[in-house]
Amino acid sequence: MPESKTSVLVGLSGGVDSAVAAMLLVRAGHRVCGVTFSLWTDPDCRGQNLCCSSDTLLAAERIAEDLGITHEVVDLSADFYADVVRPFVEGYARGCTPNPCVACNAYVRVPALLRKADEMGYRLVATGHYARMQGTPPRLHRGRSQAKDQSYVLAGVQPALLERLLFPLGDLTKAQVRSLALQAGLDVGAQAESQEICFIPDNDHRRFLATRLTPKPGLILDHYGREIGKHDGIHRFTIGQRRGLGVAATEPLYVLEIRQGDGVVIVGAAEFLAVRRLTVRELVWHRRPVSMSGLTVQIRSMGRAVPVHVIHYEEEVLELDLECRERAAAPGQAAVLYSGDAVVCGGIIATSKPE
């Protein structure tokens, strides 16, 4: 934490994590202001948007009132659509599986927080992420809680921007955060947690994509190249998907490959999902390790860290060989390279192969 009486702008989402982050800064004696971003809401919405609703804004206002801090709302709907929603739809149209949370932090939330802080004359900003900044200059590390670590979804943010971020929850567990909220009388302390994509009503990916993409029929082939069915668009599939394939089989089948060029979807047994080789592009480097040995890679937000050999690396591309195979490494997903708890770089999976 910085010295007390520092001005800090806190991103208030309306949830328990950002509420406790703000509370800890207030208790430490800082001058705190909260800002909530009004994001894009699906105009065809028939269900609940998790972080883009009027209820979210009201919850953030109540938190600010309870903490005795000022609060502002900033409209980021156009930025959010351009940098998160549209790339998400376009990614599925190419047969990829984008991670919108990674894109949102890198291109929308963190840059917007810093722009607003600059307008207000604040140097520092804070969020409720479970991550830590350590070293000189400060660099991104995992949160102390392995179960809640969110460094993965922050790895796409440029290091120069992260240097101005505070993560008050970096050394805490979720249980500790909830306990602090309840002790302080914040009514978000018992709030349920969700893993859904915030801008997709009721987490209905198929309906959301179907209203935005023109169906392009194609073939479904098995692992041996035999036709076993047809589909009405590759956007309906993601690597590792089992349900809703539209084919009958005597054994469980999973999506193994999605080919944009000819619109073919290849399915097969679970054993064929495992991959060893990854090509990662769109890299954001957080540090240059002395050695490229002893590193790990994480390919899902709540996934495990897998030991990895770096076959080749340049400024914009990594070639990785995993020590043990990982299932369903989908192009479009983020891959984050670690040295211990320290983030080395983050990027986007371009290709994944068995060997």
pLDDT of 4 above 80: no
Tell how strand 139-142 and strand 7-11 pair up: unpaired
Q: Which residues contact 281 (CB under 8 A, 6 or more apart)?
A: 316, 317, 318, 347, 348, 350
Does domain 214-268 correspond to CATH entry 2.30.30.280? yes
Q: Which residues contact 192 (CB under 8 A, 6 or more apart)?
A: none
Q: Look at the domain 7-202 and name its fold.
A: Rossmann fold (3.40.50)
17-26, 180-189, 279-288: range with lowest mean pLDDT: 180-189
Q: Is the peptide bond before 137 cis (omega within 30 degrees of 0)?
A: yes
pLDDT of 144 above 90: yes
Class level of CATH domain 273-353: mainly beta
pLDDT digits (tens, 9 = 90+) for 281-323: 999 999 988 788 999 999 999 889 999 999 998 889 999 999 9
pLDDT of 49 above 70: no
pLDDT value of position 318 = 95
pLDDT value of position 192 = 64
Active site residues: 104, 198
Buried b / exposed e over 96-110, threshold 16 CB at 10 Å, is bbbbbbbbbbbbbbb
User: Strand runs (DSSP E) across 69-163, as ranges?
Assistant: 70-75, 124-126, 131-134, 139-142
Query: One-letter amino acid identity for 305?
Result: A
pLDDT digits (tens, 9 = 90+) for 65-80: 999 999 999 999 999 9
User: Strand runs (DSSP E) across the chain, as ranges?
Assistant: 7-11, 31-38, 70-75, 124-126, 131-134, 139-142, 165-166, 218-222, 227-231, 254-258, 265-268, 274-285, 295-298, 306-313, 317-327, 334-339, 342-353
- What residue segments make up the domains of the chain, in order of their start? 7-202, 214-268, 273-353
β-strand partners of 71: 34
Are the CB atoms for 125 and 101 separated by under 8 Å?
Answer: no
pLDDT of 50 above 70: no
Work out the mean pLDDT of the chain and round it to a whole number: 92
Answer whether 0.85 is exceeded by the pTM. yes
